[in-house]
Structure 1
């Protein structure tokens, strides 16, 4: 994904700065450059992941998977497995949503799918390597464990709150199983029309929200200076950690892209835990993600999702400030 971003970044540089003469230093140039690169990467990921998950779901023995997960739901095993899967997949918050849709299509319990959705953007192997190099193994270990625990507990809590009734109606009806006996012996070619139909429906539902979400993120990225955040999450502010989470929501930056911002904030005196809360909020609770979630969740579930995860991020920030 990083290679693709570099290629697209060079293409955007050429288009904006060489052909159109837009200044690299201008807020407008930064905004449009960010939108072109981020939107292209995300829409390609959405398409790829949606078709991939549609293929996997087509071959899964859905009733067996559902029954197994239901059987182990109360032990938290499924939530732990989903969070670990999220930690080893290099997806951002928006590109994780097609996988969430696929899990719902496969009839997995909502809490388990949410555990994946929470952890996936927060922890990935590239961010871990950079984090280790910058802050050492102790800080990295606490961060990784915090991200996985947040995913496990968040999924369990939202499941216990009975939020499974508040996913979008179209998602409840997407790709209803037609019976394993009817599909078990089908070839891939015979399965493809159904896979394409379900994937196309999902992409049509999500694409406008990817577009408008990235427009918002690009405007914030280009026009809101970093000093704006430093002013409100300084060491002297007793509410700095909750504010850091709230102020980070309009942003959309992945776990790798936010690390230089975190380093800059910490270098200017912002406590590590406060900066960490800002980092977690910007990659796990962004406005673009909220717009996408609006298409796959009803309002009550979105509010509960954001409130639960924001609370966990605030507690994690306070924990980091106590330990480091």
Structure 2
């Protein structure tokens, strides 16, 4: 099988061993080579993925999303909301206006949460970085897990009838209609929008990529072999919940976390435990809870965090068994 990233590895080897003059088979060489190669590979896949998804997004607007999901009930709409969350440009920073817009438009609370759970978990940046670092199999597992978590979390919140824990003012807000007409955009305009999104997102995440890959490079070169497998391997019954409990109160850009998780896996941390840690940091970060506090009461936030955390723990155990 042809390694499409071989040119990047060749460049990394040239820079590490010839330009920088670092002796092969040393810890420093392993770390530097890892950083150079991963940074190039993530940037390449990130640019391609952002362009593709951004082009697709020109056909999707918040107003169109609300019309599709408004006043709709049934498990298929939880799946639909979760799937829409994978291709929409909303992160935890925009949770409040999106939440308000969905509720005002008549989207059921549970369906709204399916969207909110999946949207920050699965996006083009995370997919590109995971693909570049952990490979296609782990990426597919992550995407499927993110969608399923959104469906389960939203469905449980929906059947619990928790609307009373949404602040009253949310139901009184009227959201304006979308004035743009995406169907009238030309191919050239869509391409230009996609290019602008590539520049914008790359400009905002490049530093996180470099920081994350650099930390991962340190783990890759200097962490003792098998130490994580020894203390947090599949045989440790409490490894997954401990990883989730550590991740929930943390906040980090997903782009910075993925290379670190890659190195942890390389040193023996099981994939299920690793993905559970990554999901807990991304899906229920403290800043997102602070933002949602503006529109949700403490009881609903606590239920939301508990459901997502328990679901992530279950997912981690499941994939540790399967992989």
Q: TM-score band, normalised by the shorter chain?
A: 0.5 to 0.7
1:319 aligns to 2:313 (yes or no): no
Is contact 2:103-2:170 (8 Å) kept?
yes
CA RMSD, Structure 1 to Structure 2 (Å): 3.1
CA gap 1:262/1:170 in 2 versus in 1, 3 angstroms: same
CA deviation map 1:55-78 (0-9, x unaligned): x78x7798xx49x743x412x222
Is contact 1:60-1:106 (8 Å) kept?
no
Q: Which residue of 2 aligns with 1:164?
A: 163
Is contact 2:239-2:273 (8 Å) kept?
yes
Q: Which residue of 2 aligns with 1:234?
A: 232
**Cα distance in 2 between the residues matched to 1:134 and 1:98:** 33
**Cα distance in 1 between the residues matched to 2:305 and 2:73:** 22
Q: Which residue of 1 aligns with 2:247?
A: 248
Q: Which residue of 1 aligns with 2:21?
A: none
Aligned counterparts, 1:24-173, within 5 A = 65=67, 69-70=70-71, 72-74=72-74, 76-173=75-172
CA deviation map 1:32-83 (0-9, x unaligned): xxxxxxxxxxxxxxxxxxxxxxxx78x7798xx49x743x412x22211211
- Alpha-carbon distance, 1:302 to partner: 0.8
Is contact 1:90-1:125 (8 Å) kept?
no
- Alpha-carbon distance, 1:314 to partner: 0.6
SS at match of 2:107: coil
CA gap 1:172/1:234 in 2 versus in 1, 3 angstroms: same
Is contact 1:166-1:301 (8 Å) kept?
yes
Is contact 1:233-1:243 (8 Å) kept?
no
What TM-score does the superposition give when structure 2 sets the normalisation length?
A: 0.60
Q: Which residue of 1 aligns with 2:264?
A: 265
- Alpha-carbon distance, 1:232 to partner: 11
Is contact 2:166-2:297 (8 Å) kept?
yes
| Unpaired segments ≥5 residues, structure 2 | 1-60, 181-218
1:274 aligns to 2:260 (yes or no): no
CA deviation map 1:191-221 (0-9, x unaligned): xxxxxxxxxxxxxxxxxxxxxxxxxxxxxxx
- Alpha-carbon distance, 1:166 to partner: 1.1
CA gap 1:231/1:295 in 2 versus in 1, 3 angstroms: farther
Q: Which residue of 2 aligns with 1:300?
A: 299
SS at match of 1:257: helix
- Alpha-carbon distance, 1:291 to partner: 1.3
CA gap 1:231/1:269 in 2 versus in 1, 3 angstroms: closer
CA deviation map 1:260-291 (0-9, x unaligned): 12113223322111111110000111111111
CA deviation map 1:57-110 (0-9, x unaligned): 8x7798xx49x743x412x22211211111112443333343222212222111
Is contact 2:243-2:276 (8 Å) kept?
yes
- Alpha-carbon distance, 1:126 to partner: 2.4
| Count of equivalent residues | 217
